[in-house]
Amino acid sequence: MKKISILIPCYNEENNVLPIADAVRKIMSAIDYEYELIFVDNCSKDRTREHLRNLASEDTNIKVLMNNRNYGIDGRSGRNALKYASGDAIISMACDFQDPPELIPEFIQGWEEGYKVVCGQKTSSKEGWIKYHLRDVFYRIIKSLSEIPQYSHISGITLMDREVLDEWLKTDYDFYFRFALADMGYKPKLIKYQQQQRRSGKSSYNIWRYLSFAIDSMVATSRRPIRLITVLGGIMSVFSFVLGIFYLSFKLRYWQLFDPGTAPVLIGFFFFGSVQMFFLGIIGEYIGAILRKVTHRPEVILEEMINIKKEDKRISSTC
């Protein structure tokens, strides 16, 4: 019998872990598959861990990984948890019910049809018009910059075949699956759905985290921004040289028409200074990405494991 692994990351989800566990178990009991439900807790500060321990003590199909600290949004926590998944197919979904658990049978059906990747694609969102359309702008920018065509609005529930997971885990830890998918060449089945509101709790994402994620995504998927700096730098250098020659010639010919003053100098100074700072910022982001890769950051360290053993880890490479 085929086995499905369902991975649910959580952070301060004390009011969501019990309902999502019940919903998933009810759905999986109605279809003919073995399953495991893996919760990975990113060092919650509320009663989430207490609820997870109780769930795991009652049901051995529920496995729990508890990180020793909050590893943030850089992807290490989720990727590390996926290394403990033993299923033939793996489904990742949110704990807050924004990704409807009722979609699970449809995702498995797509997998049985031969698709190695099945992705939920948001067509709208109940979390708010502004957030959804800001994400739409983000995906448009990523698609326009990336050298490889990208898929839009697939950041929610996702199913991947074991083969796809093993290939993805060979890549860098900060290469998010939504962007690696196109690079790996797998053709996904896209299941459209409306993103729901959070059932309970508050998202840990804020404006700064969204901005950081957007910049990291741009750096990970494209070299065009840094190439654009080279092109624009060359164009502006030529333009500045021609303008300087024209200005010098005009001043030598019509000396008496020029009043002494520093305004043109200051305007030019601040303009080119701001352009240089912007370009240096882009270059700095790429240097930062290189630094993250060459420093070999440690893997996620687990504080507690329930119904799962260290030897169950299938891949031991760095996150």
| Res. 220: pLDDT tops 70 | no
| Res. 317: pLDDT tops 60 | no
> Nearest CA to 86 among 318, 311, 254?
311
pLDDT at 262: 52
pLDDT at 8: 94
State what percent of residues in the chain have pLDDT above 90. Answer: 34
pLDDT at 201: 60
Q: What share of the chain is helix, strand, coil (3-state, %, to 5)?
A: 50, 15, 35
C-beta contacts of 164-172 below 8 A and 24+ residues apart: 164/116, 164/117, 165/82, 165/85, 165/90, 166/314, 166/315, 169/79, 169/82, 169/83, 169/315, 169/317, 170/317, 172/293
pLDDT at 301: 87
> Nearest CA to 172 among 74, 284, 293, 85?
293
3-state secondary structure of 257: helix
pLDDT tens, 240-297? 677 767 776 776 776 666 565 555 665 666 667 767 777 777 777 777 767 767 766 7
| Res. 214: pLDDT tops 80 | no
> Nearest CA to 99 among 70, 65, 126?
126
Residues 220, 174 contacting (CB under 8 angstroms): yes
pLDDT at 239: 74
CA distances from 183 to 168, 171, 175 (A): 10, 11, 10
Query: Cβ atoms within 10 A of the Cβ of 149, count?
Result: 7
pLDDT at 318: 44
pLDDT tens, 87-140? 999 999 988 888 889 999 999 999 999 999 999 888 777 766 666 667 777 777
0.85 exceeded by pTM: no
More confident residue, 304 or 224: 304
More confident residue, 59 or 214: 59
For the chain, give the mean pLDDT: 80
Residues 166, 315 contacting (CB under 8 angstroms): yes
Q: What is the C-alpha separation between 135 and 198, in angstroms, rounded? A: 17
pLDDT at 24: 95
pLDDT at 177: 77
More confident residue, 149 or 36: 36
More confident residue, 168 or 214: 168
